[in-house]
Structure 1
Amino acid sequence: MPSDVQETSYLDAIFAALRGAGQKLDNARGWLTSAEATSASAWRLQALAAARGAQGEARAYVKELEGRLAQLGPGAELPPPLDVLPERLEAIRKDLDATEQRILSIASAAATQPLGQA
């Protein structure tokens, strides 16, 4: 479980994991924007590494959230307000996949540039 998900209550932990995934995904996108904007390959590689790290942390939150929701039962059986979480989780998964593709695209472009070249 990610370290900042507190065990105050099961519901709090679910919503903390959801928030954490969203925040880490936003961080990854920010780093990707920085990687795309810089012309220095060394900075681009550092931004890509930070984006990968943030995306990995977001995936850890998603895994935590999936596990907690699975313990509560199938998505169709979840009570409100939890009944909207499977749909939200699917949207986050799609965002994570899109972010992964963006990381791969930027990394591929960076790999074709000689070090020290813009």
Structure 2
Amino acid sequence: MTHYLDAIISAIRDAGQHLDAAALWLGRAEKAAGSSWQMRLLGAAEDAHAAARARLDVAEANLGELGPAGKLPAVLDELPSRVSALRRALGASEQRLIDAALAPAARPLGHA
């Protein structure tokens, strides 16, 4: 059981770290708007999002195998809400990534 719990906590921690990395890459991409580096930075942010999503999927699956959120032991009862909070943060960050990727298309290219 200890290894199983460690795997869940590790997945949650890893997801948070990947989300932090995504925010860093995304911030750099937003600062590099219009430069040739922007797409590479957005790609790195997208990779970090994918890694965070995968780790959250693992955490949710493992938690689900332990039973419904309301019936988890006291030691684990806060983990589902933490996973949900990370899932919401991931969604917001992914929307920010989409907005940053679409921003160049919204800018005018020149004067007519």
Superposed displacement of residue 41, structure 1: 2.8
Structure 2: unaligned runs, 5 residues or longer: none
SS of residue paired to 2:36: helix
Superposed displacement of residue 92, structure 1: 0.5
Of all paired residues, the percent bearing the same amino acid is: 47
Distance 2:105 2:19 in 1: 24
Report if the CA contact (8 A) 1:41-1:110 is conserved: no
Aligned to 1:19: 13
Superposed displacement of residue 34, structure 1: 0.2
Structure 1: unaligned runs, 5 residues or longer: 1-7
Does structure 1 residue 34 correspond to structure 2 residue 34? no
Structure 2 counterpart of 1:54, from 44, 48, 54: 48
SS of residue paired to 1:9: helix
What's the TM-score, normalizing by structure 2? 0.89
How many residues are paired up? 108
The Cα RMSD (Å) is: 1.8
Report if the CA contact (8 A) 2:15-2:56 is conserved: yes
What's the TM-score, normalizing by structure 1? 0.85
SS of residue paired to 1:33: helix
Amino acid at match of 1:102: R
Does structure 1 residue 110 correspond to structure 2 residue 91? no
Distance 1:110 1:73 in 2: 46
Aligned to 1:67: 61
SS of residue paired to 1:89: helix
Structure 1 segments of 4 or more deviating over 3 A?
111-114
Structure of greater Rg: 2
Distance 1:20 1:111 in 2: 33
